A and B are shown apart, each in its own frame.
Chain A
Amino acid sequence: ETGVTQTPRHLVMGMTNKKSLKCEQHLGHNAMYWYKQSAKKPLELMFVYSLEERVENNSVPSRFSPECPNSSHLFLHLHTLQPEDSALYLCASSQDSGHLGNTIYFGEGSWLTVV
């Protein structure tokens, strides 16, 4: 148990559906992240929030829409996804958004399959 909880753990959605991934951290951290992990590819940083403000967006398609209502919760809203978006989506948190010297704690991930 890392203190970062993600739901749902598994999600299958059609290309026309709208769904959301949820993340909650119980560590009192100020920064939260969304990463994408695909087979045979490195972890890709998607979004970074620090104190509920987005500080990084690595050119992610607009069909992925993050929301950070407070420092403990992070959502990833999904709509009109493509099959190539099927991947493990990992939420993470750290004390602040400086990676250096800050341990990043990952959740267990949400397995997304787009059909």
Chain B
Amino acid sequence: QKEVEQDPGPLSVPEGAIVSLNCTYSNSAFQYFMWYRQYSRKGPELLMYTYSSGNKEDGRFTAQVDKSSKYISLFIRDSQPSDSATYLCAMANSGNTPLVFGKGTRLSVIA
């Protein structure tokens, strides 16, 4: 079983839809969870950062972590064409350990 599983998509939604992006993981030691957004031909940029379980909201974006299920989600409300990108989840243990990335989900928001 891969350490981090993420459906690569592509996922295509109409403008204004609520988008749900997900990752599952196998390492119960992961404590830190991140979502990166990567536009075409650009490097990834950090979108959301959460520690342990719970929710974090930032504008139209909500990150959710369920450690009991080893499942994390990123919700995008009122999606816009400018949200079209690849979204990568990443996670790490406590301590100075490297990030483990998912493969990324490609999202297209159609106007």
User: Which B residues between 62 and 111 are near A, CB-CB below 8 angstroms?
Assistant: 88, 90, 92, 94-104
Known contacts A42-B4, A42-B100, A43-B88; decide if A108 and B43 are in contact (CB<8 Å).
yes
Minimum-distance CB pairs A-B, first 9:
A106-B43, A43-B101, A42-B101, A98-B96, A45-B98, A42-B103, A108-B43, A106-B44, A103-B46
Q: Is the interface of A mostly helix, strand, loop or mixed?
A: loop
Residues of B within 8 A of A98 (CB): 96
Contact with B along A87-100 (1 / 0, CB 8 A): 00010100001111
The answer to whether B98 and A109 touch across the interface, beta carbons within 8 angstroms, is no
Residues of B within 8 A of A92 (CB): 43
Q: Is the interface of B mostly helix, strand, loop or mixed?
A: loop
Residue A68 is within 8 A (CB to CB) of chain B in the complex: no
Residue B60 is within 8 A (CB to CB) of chain A in the complex: no
Residue A21 is within 8 A (CB to CB) of chain B in the complex: no
The answer to whether A108 and B41 touch across the interface, beta carbons within 8 angstroms, is yes
Chain B residues near A (Cβ < 8 Å): 4, 8, 32, 41-46, 49, 88, 90, 92, 94-104
What is the CB-to-nearest-CB distance from B79 to chain A, in angstroms, rounded to a whole number?
Answer: 23
Residues of B within 8 A of A48 (CB): 98
Residues of B within 8 A of A58 (CB): 98
With A and B bound together, what is the CA distance between A40 and B103 in angstroms?
Answer: 6
Residues of A within 8 A of B8 (CB): 40
Instruction: Please give me the residue from chain B that is nearest to A92 by CB atom.
Output: B43
Residues of A within 8 A of B4 (CB): 42
Extra 12 A-B pairs, beta carbons < 8 Å, given A2-B45, A45-B99, A104-B46: A42-B88, A97-B96, A98-B96, A99-B97, A100-B95, A103-B46, A105-B45, A106-B43, A106-B44, A106-B45, A108-B41, A109-B42
